[in-house]
Structure 1
Amino acid sequence: MDTAYADINVVDRLNAEWRWLCDRVAPAREVRGWLIEADVVDERAPHTLDGLCDHLQDRSKGEGPRFSDTWLTVLLERAVAEGDQAQLAARVAVQMMLPAAVRMTQRCLRQGEEFADNVQLVVAALYQVVRRFPIERRRRQLAQGLRLELWHVVSREFGREFSPSGEELPGEKELAEGASVAVDPLRRAEVSLLASAAEAVGLRAPAEPLEELAGPRGELVELLVWALAQKVLTQDAAAAIADHYRDAGAVPDAAAARAAGVSQAAIRQKRRRAVVQLRTAAPLWAAAA
C-alpha cells in the first residue's frame, strides 16, 4: 500500500500517527477503561490500543450490529463533547472508519481527479461526521449511520468543489427517484457512486441498470475503476475484462474480435494478460479498502 499510495499524504499521516498512538500506554488505558465501565468488554480485554480495536472488530463480525452499537456509543458520546477525551475518542472512531473512507474515495474518483486530493476531503468529512453525530437521537445501526452521514457530506462537498456549474451529481437522480436496487439506502448510495465512476471511465453505459452493480459484478467493476485510476490497466485491458466477465450479456470473443479487427486468439491473449496484471495488483486494492 505504501508504494501504490505514496502520494496519499493524509492517509499515510493518519496511519503513522495511529502507530505512534498505539505505542503509548495512556491512550489504550483510557479507552479500555471507558469500555470496561460501559460493560462492553471485561478485564480480559487487550491492553494495547490496536489490540483492543481488533478485538472490537472481531466481536462485531461475530455478534453483529448490536455489539458494534455498544462500543460505538461509548466512543461517539465522548467524541461529540469537548476536551482531550473527545479528541481521543474521535481519533479512535476515525481510524476504525478510515478503510470505509478510502473505499468511498475510490468510488467517488472521476477521470482526471487525483486520489490524494479527494481522500483529503473525505477524511475531513469523516472527522466532521464523527464530531457532530447525533448520538443522543440515534442509538442503533451506528456503523451504517456513520457511513451514510459520511456519504451525504461527501456528496455535498464534491458537488460544490467539483461541479461548479451546479449540475446534479451523477447518481443523485437515481437515488431521488428510488432506484430499484434491492438494498438499504447506504448500499444504494454506494452503488450510485460506483455507477458514476464506472460510467466516467467507460466501463458502464448510462442505460445499464444499477442492479447490475449491487453484487459480485459491482466488486469487479470497483476493482477495475481503481486499476484505471492507479494506471494498473489500460482502458482497453479494463474493458476487455469488464465485457467478458458478466453474469449476463457478456460480449463473445468472436464479436469482440470482429469489433477490434483482430483474431479471437488475440482477444483472449489480451484478456489473459490483463487478468494477470489485475491479480498482481489486487492485494494493494484490498489493503486500501
Structure 2
Amino acid sequence: MHPTSAGTESGPHDSTDMRMHRAWRQMCEDPRAEVVVGSWAAESELFSDCTGTGDVLELLNALYRAGNWTGHDALLAALLERVPRGGYDGEVAWLVTVRALLPKAARMARSQMRPSIDFEEAFSVVVGALFEVVRTYPLERCPRSIYAGLVLRTLTLARQTLGHLLNDAPLPPDEVAEIVDRRPVGHELGPEERFERLSLLMDATELQLLGKDDHEHIHSGTARAELLHLVVWAVRTGVLQPHEAQLLAGYYVDSDHRDGRTPRSIGSGGDRVRKARSRAVSRLRAADHDAYWLVA
C-alpha cells in the first residue's frame, strides 16, 4: 500500500492527480513529517537546509533545474536508501521521491495514450508503476544515473501493464536492455535527453520503424527523431495504421541514409506505394496537431 491509499480522504471520483495532491498536502502539514526530515538533517549534510518535505522537494527541483545531476542523484540516492526502512520514515522518503518525478510521469502518461485509454487511465498506470519502481529500485546495483534509471524503469513497467490491457506484446526484456546499452555516435547525453532518446527508440522498435543506422545516430532535436515522434503518436492515437507509419518512417529519412529507391525504381508496385504514402500524409495533415504538441 503506497502513501496515497493510506491515511488520506478520497472520494469515488477522485482523479489520480487529486489523490496525489491530497496525499502530498497532508504529508506537508503533518508534524511527524517535519520530525522525520529533521532526523534526516541530523544524519546527512544533504538535508541540512531542510526542515520539511517541501524543502526536500524544492532542493530536488533546484538541482534538476540547474542540471546538477551529480547532486540530484546524490539526493535521490539518500531518499531511496530510506524508503526500505519502512514506517513513516520510509513512507515520507517514498512519497517525496514520487512527488519529485510526478511531472515526468504526466508526460509519460500523455505519450502512452491510446484511443481506448484516456489520460487518467494512463496516468494512473504510470503513477502506480512509479511507486513500485521507487519502492524496489536496486540502488546498490545501480548507484549512478538514478534519475534516468527511475524514469526508464517506470516507463518500461507502465508499458508492460498497458500492453496487457491492450493485448499488445511489449518489448522483451533483452530487447529493452539492448536499446539501453546502445549509445548515439558522438553525443554525450544528460539524463533527461537520454531518457527521451531511449523512450523514442523503445516505441519505434516496437512499431518496427527504425532504419539500420537509427540506434547509433538518432538523438533529440534531429529531423529524424521528430518524424519518429510524430508517426509513433499517430499510431497510438489511431491516425495511422502501423504499416502506414512504417511506410513513412522508411521513406522520410535523412538524405545521407536514404537508400535511393523511388516509386519508379521499385517497379510496378511503386505507384501503389506512392499513393498509400500520400494517403497517410493526408491523414497526418488532417490530424489534431494541438493534441500532438501536448504530448511532444
Q: TM-score, normalised by structure 1?
A: 0.61
Residue in 1 that maps onto 2:77: 73
How many pairs align? 261
Identity rate, percent: 23
Aligned AA for 1:175? E
Superposed CA RMSD: 5.2
Unaligned stretches of 5+ residues in structure 1 = 1-11
- Tell whether the 8 Å contact from 1:151 to 1:189 is kept in structure 2 after alignment: no
**Equivalent residue number for residue 285 of structure 1:** 295
Structure 1 position 175 matched with structure 2 position 171? no
How far has the Cα of 1:191 moved from its partner?
4.6
Q: What's the offset of the Cα at 1:140?
A: 3.5
- Counterparts in 2 of 1:128 and 1:82: CA distance versus 1, 3 Å: same
Q: Which residue of 2 aligns with 1:3?
A: none
- The amino acid that maps onto 1:64 is N
8 Å CA contact 1:195–1:210 kept in 2: the answer is no
**More relative contact order, 1 or 2 (CA 8 Å, 6+ apart):** 1
Matched ranges for 1:1-289 at <5 A: 13-24=15-26, 25-27=28-30, 29=34, 33=38, 36-37=41-42, 38-40=44-46, 43=49, 49=54, 53-101=57-105, 114=117, 120-135=124-139, 138-150=142-154, 169=172, 172=175, 175=178, 181-182=184-185, 189-199=198-208, 204=209, 209-215=214-220, 216=222, 217-231=224-238, 233-234=239-240, 246-248=253-255, 260=274, 270=282, 273-274=285-286, 277-278=288-289, 280-286=290-296
Post-superposition CA distance 1:230-253 (Å, at most 9, x none): 35x45599789867865336799x
SS of the residue corresponding to residue 233 of structure 2 reads helix
- Contact 2:105–2:126 (8 Å) recurs in 1: yes
For 2:162 and 2:140, the matched residues in 1 are separated by 28
Contact 1:101 1:123 in 2 (8 A): yes
User: Aligned in 2, Cα 1:55/1:174: closer, same or farther, shift over 3 Å?
Assistant: closer
Partner Cα distance (1:33, 1:223) in 2 = 47
Work out whether residues 191 and 213 of structure 1, in 8 Å CA contact, stay in contact via their aligned partners in 2: no
Q: Cα distance, 1:68 vs. partner? A: 0.8
Question: Residue type matched to 1:83 in 2?
Answer: G
Residues 108/26 of structure 1: CA separation in 2 closer, same or farther (3 Å cut): closer
Give the letter aligned to residue 75 of structure 2: W
Deviation at 1:34, TM superposition (A): 5.7
Mark the runs of 5 or more structure 2 residues left unpaired by the alignment. Answer: 1-13, 265-269
